[in-house]
Amino acid sequence: MQEVANSTDDHTLILGHTGALAVNPTSSPRMPCDANKDFVPLTLVFKAPSV
């Protein structure tokens, strides 16, 4: 994800999931990128129920 956050072109995409974008920043505050500032959501790909 760091490579995508540091990308300088406007055509680099990443398929993220809850673990990488929501859970990891909460459990590891020293992450090298901020999901809220460094990434822009485009669309919802799928929904999966969780327990």
Instruction: Point out the residues of the chain with pLDDT beneath 50.
Output: none
CB 2 within 8 A of CB 32: yes
> pTM of the predicted model, to two decimals?
0.56
Question: How confident is the model at residue 47, as a pLDDT?
Answer: 81
Q: What is the pLDDT of residue 45?
A: 85
Helix or strand run (H / E) with residue 19: none
- Residue 3 has a pLDDT of 83
pLDDT at 33: 80
